[in-house]
Every structure is written in C-alpha cells, then in structure tokens.
C-alpha cells in the first residue's frame, strides 16, 4: 500500500513536470486562470514571471476572459477614496494581498499615480481600465491624463495634442476639452481607445464639438475631420461606452451616441412626457451598461415631492437597435424599509444592476449601498439579502462611483 502511494505520488510529480515543461500546454492552462491569481503565480519562478508578464500573453488572456465579474466599486478620488469589494467571499479573503500590503478594504490603487502627481480622480472606467487625471486639472491640453489598470498597477500618462479651433479667426478662441472617455471591449480587442471631446466656437452662439481619438494599438492620436453640433440638453462630461459607441444622456433622458468604428453621431429620443415632467425633482441618476455588457440602463431616483418617492422608481432599458427607452423593471423598496429605515430617507446609492441574460429565468439583482450595508434586491422575486461592511460603517459611496473588473489588459 505504501509503495502504491509512493508510485502514485511519483507519477503525479512526473505529470506536473511534464505539463510545466511543455510551454504551450502551460500557457493554455494559465489562460484559464483569473487575473489576480495569475499575478501571484509570477512568484513561482523567473520563467513564469516572464511568461505572465509578456504582452502577447496578456493580450490572449484579455481576449479569452472578456466578461470577468465585478470585483469592487471605487469612489472617485485618491484623497477621499473608498472601496467596496465584491463578491462577499472576496471581502474577507484578502484577494488583493497578492499585489498590495494593505487589506482589501484599505487598498487604494490610485496611490500608484498619486504618489507622483498628487491627488488623483477617476474620470471614467471601462471593463477594468480607469481614466484618471489630477484633481482640479484645467480643461486644456496641458493637463496630463492617465490610463490605469488597478489589477496590475500599471499606468500610462497621456497628453492630448492641441486641437486647432475651426473658424477661430478674429475671435481667437482655442479649443478646450469637454471630456475624455474610455472605449474598451475585451470581447472584440485587447486594445482600447480614448475619445477626447473638444468644444470649438466657429461663429457667435453656434457651437460644435470636435473629436480626437487615441488608439493603444498604434500609440497615437487622430483628429477627425468632421464635427457635430452641440445639443445643450445633453451632459457631455459623463458618458458610457456600450455597443461599440460612446453615449451621452440628457435632461429628459434623450440620448446621443458616437459610434467609434462607423464614425457617426446619432440621436435617440427621450421618454414619454409624463416621465419628463418629474426630472427637475431627480435626486440622483444611474446611467451604466449591465454587468454583461448586453444592455444599457438608466435609473432616475426622484425626491419625496415627486409622484415617485426615493423608494419607488423605474429601471429603463435601451435595446441594441436604439428603438427607445422602455421600462424593464418597476422597483419598490418599501419592503426594505422595515429592516433599513434610512433607505426611505434616500440614504442609499445604486451601485450596479446585475442583469441576467436568461429572459425566461430572469433573476436580475439591483445592488444598493447604504451606510455599512450592501443590499442585493432580486427584481423578479422581490426578495433581498444584505451583508455588512464591518470596516466601512460610516461610508456611503456617492453616485460618481466606478466599477472595477480584474483584467491583464496592457495600458
């Protein structure tokens, strides 16, 4: 019996050595390992370190793991930074110990930039990559921007090239930056793009936007020849990348989007008039793609004077054909208020919608954050569960929070 066990052990060791010695087989195995454990595996040997750090391997891993789950939610700047780790099992497991000496609740990935440039804020996030800038940076080409991968702690410094103002003429008015936005879809490409929106003034009281696009594949900026007219109802400082396009939403839920590959701008009408009339009483707005990337969602949380209260609101969904917003879910949080009475006072934030793609067995959940608690509300069964954030009892992440997904994408 002892000899059989010894033989089995020797056979297992031989098999393991065979696997590690066949590089292509080893790569195929490592490609199936999530990003964070892979960073730990760099410590196995110099060979593994070299293999996992190879940009070609990182590109393959990014393409093969395009739909990683949400690992955390971040607040927006390095000074008042806070983190809510997901899922629950990761909160107590110290999943981020591989790269950081702090525990998961105190880890601040923005420090890698802040140590050199001072206080840093997140401007945009997209499938695991963050677009950042110094807090209070001017809207000009002189300000540096940063593409950060919190998983690997790698960042790239970007400087937007000057954009000539079309028709400035005697006015002498130069272009300035309205916003920069990330476009990264790991199911299509391991490379990302940065869309820079410049405003220009060609004649008095007639405004247009001009676009510059940075490609991580070519490592260069490109100025588009065309311009498009400003719609003053839209908020062009915040955007969502979805369906191959950058989307901006407006006062009455009207939406404009710029399709990156096709290079055109289109407009989508808002919601029915009965909904529009309540917009001025909106307390907060949620505008993000679903966790799977298959849907675009919009939620307005109204104040207590509106026909809807803090606890009653609708989840609007946009189909891929842009046929218009429709009500996907009617949400009533009143049953929660017995257990969490502060929700009735509006002391909660919508973190994200975990949208189930199985329409027949829809078990989509809305993740909420209230002080010291994260609450998961099943939108079909009308049930909920919660878990405590023991180290963050007084914390309330605000509306400008950003989702973090693990990725080995190169910046």
Concatenated DSSP letters of 23-85: HHHHHHHHTTS-HHHHHHHTTS-HHHHHHHH-HHHHHHHHHH-TTPPEEEEE-SBSTT--EEE
Q: Are residues 143 and 4 in the same domain?
A: no
Q: Are residues 137 and 53 in the same domain?
A: no
Q: Are residues 228 and 290 in the same domain?
A: yes
Last residue of a domain, one of 37, 65, 93: 65
Q: Along the chain (411 residues), what's the average pLDDT of each consecutive run of 10 residues?
A: 50 56 84 91 91 94 90 84 68 35 62 91 95 80 88 94 58 68 95 91 65 96 86 89 95 91 89 56 84 86 67 90 91 89 85 74 82 87 82 58 93 95
Any idea what the CATH number is for the domain that residue 276 is in?
A: 2.120.10.30
User: Domains in the chain: how many in total?
Assistant: 2
pLDDT, residue 213, reads 96
pLDDT, residue 278, reads 55
Last residue of a domain, one of 18, 49, 65: 65
Q: Are residues 34 and 115 in the same domain?
A: no
Is residue 410 assigned to a domain?
Answer: no
Predicted confidence (pLDDT) per residue in 325-362, tens digit: 999 999 999 998 888 888 888 888 899 998 766 655 56
Q: Are residues 13 and 92 in the same domain?
A: no
Number of neighbours of residue 19 by Cβ within 10 angstroms: 12
pLDDT, residue 196, reads 94
Q: Are residues 53 and 148 in the same domain?
A: no
Q: pTM to 2 decimals?
A: 0.85
pLDDT, residue 7, reads 52
Number of neighbours of residue 45 by Cβ within 10 angstroms: 11
Is residue 176 assigned to a domain?
Answer: yes
pLDDT, residue 89, reads 42
pLDDT, residue 31, reads 94
Q: Domain residues for 214?
A: 66-405
Q: Are residues 4 and 93 in the same domain?
A: no
Q: Are residues 55 and 77 in the same domain?
A: no
Q: Are residues 252 and 286 in the same domain?
A: yes
Q: Hey, which bits of 260-319 come out as E strands?
A: 264-268, 282-289, 296-302, 312-318
- 3-state secondary structure string across 145-160: EEEEECCCCEEEEEEC
Is residue 142 assigned to a domain?
Answer: yes
pLDDT, residue 1, reads 58
Is residue 76 assigned to a domain?
Answer: yes
Q: Are residues 361 and 238 in the same domain?
A: yes
pLDDT, residue 19, reads 55
Q: Are residues 191 and 257 in the same domain?
A: yes
Q: Are residues 162 and 294 in the same domain?
A: yes
Last residue of a domain, one of 16, 38, 65: 65
Is residue 411 assigned to a domain?
Answer: no
């Amino acid at each position: 019996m002892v000899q059989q066990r010894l033989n089995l052990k020797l056979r297992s060791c031989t098999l393991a050595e065979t696997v590690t010695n066949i590089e292509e087989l080893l790569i195929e195995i490592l490609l199936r390992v999530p990003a964070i454990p892979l960073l730990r595996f760099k410590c196995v040997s110099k060979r593994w370190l070299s293999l996992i750090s190879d940009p070609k391997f990182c590109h393959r891993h990014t393409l093969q793991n395009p739909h990683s789950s949400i690992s955390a939610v971040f607040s927006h700047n390095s000074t008042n930074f806070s983190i809510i780790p997901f899922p629950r099992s990761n909160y107590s497991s110290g999943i981020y110990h591989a790269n950081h000496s702090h525990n998961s609740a105190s880890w601040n990935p923005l420090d890698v930039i802040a140590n050199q440039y001072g206080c840093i804020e997140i401007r945009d996030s997209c499938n695991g990559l963050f677009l950042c800038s110094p807090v209070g940076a001017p809207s000009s080409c002189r300000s540096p921007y940063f593409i950060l991968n919190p998983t690997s702690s790698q960042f790239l410094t970007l400087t937007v090239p000057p954009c000539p103002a079309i028709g400035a003429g005697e006015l002498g008015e130069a272009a300035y930056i309205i916003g920069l936005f990330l476009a990264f879809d790991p199911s299509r490409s391991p490379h990302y793009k940065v869309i820079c929106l410049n405003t220009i003034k060609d004649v008095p009281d007639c405004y247009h936007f001009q676009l510059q696009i940075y490609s991580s594949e070519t490592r260069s900026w490109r100025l588009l020849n065309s311009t498009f007219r400003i719609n003053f109802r839209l908020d062009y400082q915040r955007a969502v990348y979805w369906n191959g396009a950058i989307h901006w939403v407006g006062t009455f839920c009207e939406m404009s989007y710029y399709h990156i590959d096709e290079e055109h701008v289109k407009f989508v009408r808002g919601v029915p008039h009965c909904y529009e009339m309540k917009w001025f009483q909106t307390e907060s707005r949620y505008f993000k793609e679903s966790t799977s990337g298959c849907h675009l969602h919009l939620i307005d949380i109204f104040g207590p004077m509106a026909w809807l209260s803090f606890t009653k609101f609708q989840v609007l969904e946009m189909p891929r054909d842009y046929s218009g917003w429709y009500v996907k879910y009617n949400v009533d949080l009143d049953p929660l208020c017995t257990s969490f009475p502060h929700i009735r006072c509006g002391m909660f934030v919508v973190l994200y919608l975990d949208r189930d793609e199985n329409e027949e067995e829809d078990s989509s959940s809305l993740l909420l954050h209230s002080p010291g608690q994260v609450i998961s509300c099943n939108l079909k069964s009308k049930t909920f569960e919660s878990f405590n954030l023991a180290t963050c009892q007084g914390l309330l992440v605000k509306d400008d929070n950003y989702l973090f997904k693990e990725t080995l994408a190169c910046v």
